[in-house]
Every structure is written in structure tokens, then in C-alpha cells.
């Protein structure tokens, strides 16, 4: 979090004078009156007040450039801001019209032609045309930096043209099965052609940001808030809220408290205890449904770049598949589901969650790695890591087997799981140092970890989440970023990836995807421990109705589209809460403190303390 600090040589400001407490009390009372938001009744809000939908979030934005962003918070915002050629139907995830109203493939399966709708305009009034889509894809094909986030979708493109404003033609090198699931935001050419360096441009300096989604990005402060306003001319119909705010809470307990008080409309990623406590809370609905994410333990297989250079400091012990399998055999997945998630998850198996039935894979009985500490110990013995008299395992070089685990400080589940891993592996004679940090991206990209708690949101088409484990996803050099999840590069996996990408028969393609999951399972680089439910809650007095995905039983936050926030209907209690002001409780608390000190005849000095919240 950026803080303003004085440069060397800056003169120290004069020390402020002390004020009598009574005078200070009056000043603070006036300040409170100025800072307190206007509080109207629910009837006032329903009768014409601005209706703001506030979503509590904790994940930091990695980039507001759709060419760079990979985190859920960032890609979710881009789903709201920009058009995609096709969308996923909220009922079952099949492809439906987006910017493209129709599409067809040539008999050779190498040319796709899309009809681009003619009734869309960018938020600055310029028409949206096929040329914008052609420019977006071509830029990704020609500029490696522009392909950082979603380059796998265009790697097989040969040429993209726009013969007229409503026709887009994509010529392929080989057949590609993802042509109705291209998860690539289309950007306005007349804005983005002015960008110089796509590797450094974060799209966060000028607001509002030009787009053609249901919302327009109107303001952003890193790790404070993301504010969006409705696009009144959106072709599918304008959102019903006057503003959509993503507001940061580093502590999810604080977010839940804000939900109870009506300060936010929605909170996701609830712990079992939080979900249970909200079940009986007035005006709050808990949504508990099968999720689209997996939770996995990832190993560092030796960080490397596509040019063959290695980097990072991963433990060489994890290069031995026997060590990886031993660690996995000492994980009781069933206990994690019962104790950490309290039943709100499914025990992990294959790479694709069971919600996507066509691609869900389970290992055979002979292949499956079950909880078996004795087998884990035998595997470590076989790998040359034997336990001494003190129970500690040492390698042939005499060094103890000590590993580091990277995890997310903002995720309470990560912390709970880490404690179990320390206990289970400690009994094996393997020590584990847990490092839960706010920013896992930097050490991960640098390869400075041994193991990491990993998770991804899977889309109805699994191509992207598979592509991040191909050799092509490795960074080009150690100094640049890549799409890779954890530096996996396996020749057989790559062969299978190419086969599934070219297979248009859905059943045959599903079989190939399952074979890829089997390969990933056997190599032991990724161990899926659980598929957590989507456990989230919202205020029914602020949100009268909202669409889950899938509609029958699905999630609200992090959807494959914009359906939840676009469909949300304001409730009677949906009112405006401006950003940047102090809360009523904080200001009144300051005033009360000043009054108390005045009664004691005390004096206060107003000054900024070192470490005060002075964010830029």
C-alpha cells in the first residue's frame, strides 16, 4: 500500500499550536457534520435516492489493463467493462451472443466468420465495430506484452481481418475448439492505439475508462475501491443500480461486520463460522453453492524460462516425484473438508471441479493417492530421506528435509490448512515453514518458494486453465512475466493440449482433457485438495433479486460474465454511501473523546503520527 513519504532535504513543517479542548471539541463537531454521509430512510432511498451496490473485496488488482490482468478481481471488472465476442449463458454456460450475434466455421475448420452487432457504441459515443475486435486480436498476436494474460487464445491465429464494420474473419493455422469461448476483452482501437508500452500501461490513470460493457469504470484507488457507473446505452439493457463499488477490506471479519451494519451489500469467501453466524441475521441471505474453483498444493518444479534459464530458490528435493507423492500421501483431504470447510467443499481429485461434469475426472483406484502416512514414509525412505534418531529426515548430503510454504495472508482457509500440513508432515520428519503474505505474486513469479497454496476459477471451457501448465506459458526470460501457474513444462501434457485444442467433437475433446488431468495428477506437481463451495452473503434489503451462475445453484462473485451485478435489482434499503469520508462511528468517537478530555481540562495537539494512513 503506497504511502507518501518526505524526500531528503524537505523542511519539517512548523509544529502546530495546541488548542484548548473545548475549542477543539467544537472544531471536531463541525468536522463530523461535514464528514458524515447523509443518512436517508429506506423509503427515501427507494423514492429516488442514488442506489449503490457495494461489494466487499480483499484481493488486490494486478492490473486494470485487460492485456495484463489475471486475478479474479481484475478479470471480473473487465467482464463488466468490455465486450467479448460471445458470452456464457447464466443457466448452463453454453455460448450465447455477445459482441458477435452469429458465427460460422468453414468446411476446412480453419476460418471463422463472426457477425458483429451494429447497435453498440463505446461509452464515449464512438461505434463499436469489427475493426476493434480485429485490432485487439492482432495486437495480441504481434506484441508479446499484449499477450501476457490471454495469449493462449490467439497463439493459433494466422490472420484476423474486418472486411466491413459488422464482419470479423479469423483464419487459423489449425482447427481450434475454443472459438466460441474466446475469453478476450475487446478494446476500443481509437483509445488503445495510443498506448506505447503494453508491458507497463495499467489503464488506471484517466477516468472514466472507455468501454462497452454494462458498466463503465469511473474511479479507482489501489486497495481502497473500484467504482463503476452503469452504461445507460448497453445493448442488453442498463444495470438497475446507480453505482457499483468494490470496496476493500483486508480483514474478512471486518467485511462481515460491515455487512451486518448495512455498510456493504455483499461479502464473498465466507468461513464456515461466518456463514453460520449470518444464517439467522436479519435482511441477510447466505448463498452456499458448488463453486467453480479448486484449492491445490503446487510444488516448485524448478522455475525456468522459455530460453532455458533457471532461477528462483526452490528446494531440489521436490524435483523427485517420490518426494512430491510422499507429501501428497500425507494429506488427509477428507479431514480438510470436514474441519477447515466444515462440509462446505468436495474432496479434491482431478483438476476440473465436479461442477463441470463433462470434464470432471477421477483417478482410478490404482492411480489414486490416498491418505497413507506409512506409504509416505516409505516413499521418502526410497528417495534417500531417512529419519534419524530424533525423527528428522535428512538427505544423503546430511541436510534436513525442510520446506517452505507460500500462502495468502487474507485467506483464513490458507492459514488453517497450513497448520494441518505442518502437523502431518512434522510427523513424517519434514519441517515446514509457513509464509502467509499479502502479495504472493512477486515471490511466486520469481520462483522463490518450495510449495504454495494455489487456486483457480475454472470457466465452462477449460482451455485457459489447462494452458497455464504448458511450456508455452513459461516466461520468455527470467525478467518478464508469463501465464504459467507454477512453471510446469511436460512434453506429453503439451501434446495432449494441442490435440484437445484441435478437436471439435465435444465428447472426444472431453476425453483428451481428462487424459491431461490424469497426466497432471501423475507428475505430482499439482495436488488438488478440495473444491470449495461458493459461500457468500448479501443484504436482501439492498438487493431484492440477483442472478447466480448457474442459475439453479451457482455463485455470484467471480462469474463467467456480468450476470450477477448487471441483473441485481435494488431493494428498499439500497442507498448511497460516499467513499473517502470517515465513518459515523469513527467521527463521533473522536468528538466524544474530545469532549471527555475537555471535561478533564486536558489539551490535545493535532499532528500526523508516523505510520498514519496517508495513502496516495
What is the structure's pLDDT at 100? 98
Q: Euclidean distance between the first and final Cα of the chain, in Å?
A: 9
Q: 42-58+214-290+552-570 belongs to which homologous superfamily?
A: Periplasmic binding protein-like II (3.40.190.10)
pTM (2 d.p.):
0.83
pLDDT band at 48 (very low <50, low <70, confident <90, very high): low
For residue 576, what pLDDT is reported? 53
Average pLDDT over residues 215-228: 98
Confidence of residue 15 (pLDDT cuts 50, 70, 90): very low
Would the pLDDT of 328 be above 70? yes
Report pLDDT for 597.
31
H runs (alpha helix) in 438-526: 441-445, 463-467, 491-501, 506-523
- When pLDDT is cut at 50, 70 and 90, the band that residue 31 belongs to is very low
The pLDDT value recorded for residue 157 is 98
Question: What share of the chain in percent tops pLDDT 70?
Answer: 85
Least confident range from 10-19, 53-62, 464-473, 547-556: namely 10-19
Instruction: Report the b/e string of 89-107 with b at 16+ CB within 10 A.
Output: bbeebebebbbbeebebee
How many whole angstroms from its chain centre is CA 178?
22
Residue 312 pLDDT greater than 90, yes or no: yes
> Does 457 score more than 60 pLDDT?
yes
Among 191-205, 432-446, 578-592, whose mean pLDDT is lowest? Answer: 578-592
Which CATH fold would you assign to the domain 293-532? Dipeptide-binding Protein; domain 3 (3.10.105)
Q: What distance in Å separates the CA atoms of residue 508 and residue 529, rounded to the nearest whole number?
A: 27
Grid coordinates of 273: 463460522
CA dist., res. 602 & res. 275, Å (int): 45
pLDDT at 12 over 70: no
User: Yes or no: is domain 72-203 CATH 3.30.70.2740?
Assistant: no
Mean pLDDT in the chain? 87
At residue 14, does pLDDT exceed 80? no
CA 227 to chain centre: 17
| pLDDT greater at residue 359 or residue 605 | 359
Q: Which of 157-166, 390-399, 516-525, 596-605 has the lowest mean pLDDT?
A: 596-605
What does the pLDDT look like over 464-512, one tens digit per residue? 999 999 999 999 999 887 889 999 999 999 999 999 999 999 999 999 9
pLDDT at 573: 86
Q: Which of 453, 405, 398 is nearest to 431 (CA)?
A: 405
Q: What DSSP element (H or E) covers 179?
A: none
3-state secondary structure of 115: strand
Confidence of residue 30 (pLDDT cuts 50, 70, 90): very low
Tens digit of each residue's pLDDT (9 = 90 or more) over 288-309: 999 999 999 999 999 999 999 9
> What Å distances lie between residue 539 and 242, 263, 292, 478, 506, CA to CA?
17, 10, 23, 46, 40
| Higher per-residue confidence, 222 vs 22 | 222
Residue 491: count of CB within 10 angstroms of its CB:
8
Determine the 3-state secondary structure of 368 from DSSP.
coil
Q: What is the pLDDT of residues 57-77, one digit of tens each?
A: 999 999 999 999 999 999 999
At residue 595, the pLDDT reads 34
- Domain extents in the chain: 19-37+587-604, 42-58+214-290+552-570, 72-203, 293-532
Instruction: For residue range 393-421, list pLDDT tens digits in order.
Output: 999 999 999 999 999 988 889 999 999 99
Amino acid at each position: 500500500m503506497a504511502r507518501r513519504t518526505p524526500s531528503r532535504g524537505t523542511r519539517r513543517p512548523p509544529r502546530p499550536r495546541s488548542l484548548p479542548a473545548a475549542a477543539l471539541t467544537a472544531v471536531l463537531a463541525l468536522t463530523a457534520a461535514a464528514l458524515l454521509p447523509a443518512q436517508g430512510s429506506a423509503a427515501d432511498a427507494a423514492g429516488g435516492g442514488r442506489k449503490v451496490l457495494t461489494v466487499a473485496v480483499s484481493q488486490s488488482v494486478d492490473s486494470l489493463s485487460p492485456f495484463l490482468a489475471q486475478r479474479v478481481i481484475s478479470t471480473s471488472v473487465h467482464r463488466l467493462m468490455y465486450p467479448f465476442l460471445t458470452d456464457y449463458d447464466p443457466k448452463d454456460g453454453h455460448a450465447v451472443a455477445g459482441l458477435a450475434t452469429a458465427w460460422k466455421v468453414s468446411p476446412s475448420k480453419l476460418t471463422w466468420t463472426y457477425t458483429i452487432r451494429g447497435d453498440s457504441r463505446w461509452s464515449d459515443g464512438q461505434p463499436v465495430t469489427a475493426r476493434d475486435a480485429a485490432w485487439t486480436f492482432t495486437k495480441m498476436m504481434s506484441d508479446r506484452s499484449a499477450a501476457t494474460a490471454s495469449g493462449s487464445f490467439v497463439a493459433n491465429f494466422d490472420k484476423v481481418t474486418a472486411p466491413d464494420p459488422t464482419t470479423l474473419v479469423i483464419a487459423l493455422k489449425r482447427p481450434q475448439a475454443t472459438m466460441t469461448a474466446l475469453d478476450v476483452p475487446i478494446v476500443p482501437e481509437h483509445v488503445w492505439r495510443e498506448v506505447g508500452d503494453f508491458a507497463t500501461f495499467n489503464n488506471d490513470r484517466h477516468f472514466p475508462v472507455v468501454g462497452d460493457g454494462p458498466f463503465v469504470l469511473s474511479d479507482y484507488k489501489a486497495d481502497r475501491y473500484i467504482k463503476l457507473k452503469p452504461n445507460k446505452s448497453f445493448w442488453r439493457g442498463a444495470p438497475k443500480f446507480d453505482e457499483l463499488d468494490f470496496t476493500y477490506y483486508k480483514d474478512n471479519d471486518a467485511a462481515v461486520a460491515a455487512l451486518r451494519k448495512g455498510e456493504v451489500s455483499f461479502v464473498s469467501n465466507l468461513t464456515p463460522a461466518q456463514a453460520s453466524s449470518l444464517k439467522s441475521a436479519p435482511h441477510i441471505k447466505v448463498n452456499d453453492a458448488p463453486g467453480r474453483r479448486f484449492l491445490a498444493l503446487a510444488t516448485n518444479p524448478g522455475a525456468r524460462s522459455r530460453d532455458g534459464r533457471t532461477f528462483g530458490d526452490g528446494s531440489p528435493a521436490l524435483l523427485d516425484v517420490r518426494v512430491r507423492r510422499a507429501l501428497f500421501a500425507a494429506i488427509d483431504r477428507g479431514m480438510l473438508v470436514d474441519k477447515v470447510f466444515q462440509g462446505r467443499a468436495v474432496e479434491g481429485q482431478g483438476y476440473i471441479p465436479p461442477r463441470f461434469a463433462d470434464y470432471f475426472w477421477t483417478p482410478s483406484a490404482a492411480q489414486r493417492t490416498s491418505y497413507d502416512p506409512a506409504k509416505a514414509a516409505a516413499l521418502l525412505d526410497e528417495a534417500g530421506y531417512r529419519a534419524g534418531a530424533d525423527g528428522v529426515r535428512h538427505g544423503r548430503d546430511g541436510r534436513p528435509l525442510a520446506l517452505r510454504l507460500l500462502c495468502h495472508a487474507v485467506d483464513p482457509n490458507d492459514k488453517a490448512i497450513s497448520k494441518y500440513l505442518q502437523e502431518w508432515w512434522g510427523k513424517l520428519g519434514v519441517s515446514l515453514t509457513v509464509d502467509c503474505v499479502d502479495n504472493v505474486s512477486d515471490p511466486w513469479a520469481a520462483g522463490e518458494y518450495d510449495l504454495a497454496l494455489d487456486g483457480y476459477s475454472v470457466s465452462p471451457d477449460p482451455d485457459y486453465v489447462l494452458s497455464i501448465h504448458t511450456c508455452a506459458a513459461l516466461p520468455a526470460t527470467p525478467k518478464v512475466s508469463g501465464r504459467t501457474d507454477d512453471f510446469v513444462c511436460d512434453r506429453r501434457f503439451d501434446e495432449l493440449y494441442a490435440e484437445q485444442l484441435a478437436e471439435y467433437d465435444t465428447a472426444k475433446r472431453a476425453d483428451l482433457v481428462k487424459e491431461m488431468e490424469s497426466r497432471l495428477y501423475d507428475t505430482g506437481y499439482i495436488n488438488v485438495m478440495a473444491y470449495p463451495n461458493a459461500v457468500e452473503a448479501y443484504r436482501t434489503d439492498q438487493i431484492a433479486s440477483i442472478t447466480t451462475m448457474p442459475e439453479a445453484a451457482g455463485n455470484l462473485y467471480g462469474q463467467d460474465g456480468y450476470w450477477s451485478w448487471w441483473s441485481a435489482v435494488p431493494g428498499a434499503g439500497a442507498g448511497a454511501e460516499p467513499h473517502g469520508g470517515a465513518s459515523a462511528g469513527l467521527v463521533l468517537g473522536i468528538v466524544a473523546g474530545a469532549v471527555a478530555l475537555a471535561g478533564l481540562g486536558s489539551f490535545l495537539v493535532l499532528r500526523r503520527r508516523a505510520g498514519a494512513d496517508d495513502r496516495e
